[in-house]
Amino acid sequence: DAMVIQNPRYQVTQFGKPVTLSCSQTLNHNVMYWYQQKSSQAPKLLFHYYDKDFNNEADTPDNFQSRRPNTSFCFLDIRSPGLGDAAMYLCATSRETGAYEQYFGPGTRLTVT
Amino acid sequence: KQEVTQIPAALSVPEGENLVLNCSFTDSAIYNLQWFRQDPGKGLTSLLLIQSSQREQTSGRLNASLDKSSGRSTLYIAASQPGDSATYLCAVRHGRGNNRLAFGKGNQVVVIP
């Protein structure tokens, strides 16, 4: 059974049109992460939630926002997508920070036209 | 700042050969190290997790070793099969700061039938 679910798997949006990507988990983990991965590059952490506590990475553009309404769900909002935001967006969870394993979802591939 | 390097970026091997993939990291203060598999256009599948106190982990044909003091890990895949063709990513969990995962760019592997 899928433990970290991302919807949609493929998303096409227009330049400047807001888009929301969804992640849900059945693991009841405290921590949820959003990564951006561009072609042939390493995944880059955008931000993470520890429970309701939001932690933004210093170099994450203001264009990227996130919401976590409850333990199971976390959303990535891109307010005004640019062509450079086309990428694979990966959601991950872990029980706690520190030495706990991260579990990844299948990703959402975002195309900006 | 933790830096993770995977060399070579790409390699091809004939079916049946053993695969050896190398990962190096600059800061030995880690909680753990994970090896992931990524198929084209897909998310990350966790293969093995090695805690900082461990020297190796095994799962089926896969074996990963960790030498924390020298900042190295090796992933061995025995008797490679065409289905092993994928990109393999190494990631270390920092022991300092906010415990983020630092990824290498991956080894892109092709197993030739």
* Residue whose C-alpha is closest to residue A72's, from A32, A21, A33: A32
Q: Between A40, A48, A90, which is nearest B44 by CB?
A: A90
pLDDT digits (tens, 9 = 90+) for B69-81: 999 999 999 999 9
What whole-number distance in Å separates Cα of residue B15 and Cα of residue B112? Answer: 5
What whole-number distance in Å separates Cα of residue A17 and Cα of residue A12? Answer: 10
Q: What are phi and psi of A89, to 5 degrees?
A: -110, 125
Residue of B nearest to A39 (CA): B41
3-class DSSP state of A83 = helix
Q: Determine whether the interchain pair A99/B32 forms a contact, defined as Cβ–Cβ distance below 8 Å.
A: yes
- The tens place of each residue's pLDDT in chain A, 113 residues long, gives 669 999 999 999 999 999 999 999 999 999 999 999 998 899 999 999 999 999 999 899 999 999 999 999 999 999 999 999 999 999 999 998 877 889 999 999 999 99
Q: Judging by DSSP bridges, how do beta strands A73-78 and A19-25 pair with one another?
A: antiparallel
Structure tokens at B13: 């091997």
Q: Determine whether the interchain pair B42/A102 forms a contact, defined as Cβ–Cβ distance below 8 Å.
A: no
Taking CB atoms and an 8 Å cutoff, what residues of chain A touch B49?
A: 101
- Measured on CA atoms in the order A60, A63, A66, A67, is the torsion positive or negative? positive
Helix, strand, coil shares, percent, chain A, to 5: 5, 50, 45
CA distances from A64 to A81, B4, B18, B79 (A): 9, 25, 42, 44
pLDDT digits (tens, 9 = 90+) for B2-48: 899 999 999 999 999 999 999 999 999 898 999 999 998 888 999 99
Q: Between A6, A41, A109, which is nearest B41 by CB?
A: A109
Q: Determine whether the interchain pair B4/A42 forms a contact, defined as Cβ–Cβ distance below 8 Å.
A: yes
Q: Which amino acid is at A80?
A: S
Closest-CA distance, A102 to chain B, in angstroms, reads: 8
Residues 17-56 of B with CB under 8 A from A: 31-32, 34, 36, 41-46, 49, 51-52
Do the Cβ atoms of A74 and A9 come closer than 8 Å? Answer: no
Taking CB atoms and an 8 Å cutoff, what residues of chain B touch A45?
A: 100-101
3-class DSSP state of A84 = helix
Q: Judging by DSSP bridges, how do beta strands A10-13 and A108-112 pair with one another?
A: parallel
Residues of A with CB under 8 A from a CB of B: 6, 40-43, 45, 48, 55, 57, 88, 90, 92, 97-99, 101-107, 109
Average pLDDT for residues B79-103, to the nearest whole number? 88
Do the Cβ atoms of A25 and A104 come closer than 8 Å? Answer: no
Q: Between B41, B52, B101, which is nearest A102 by CB?
A: B101
* Residue whose C-alpha is closest to residue B90's, from B100, B101, B79: B101
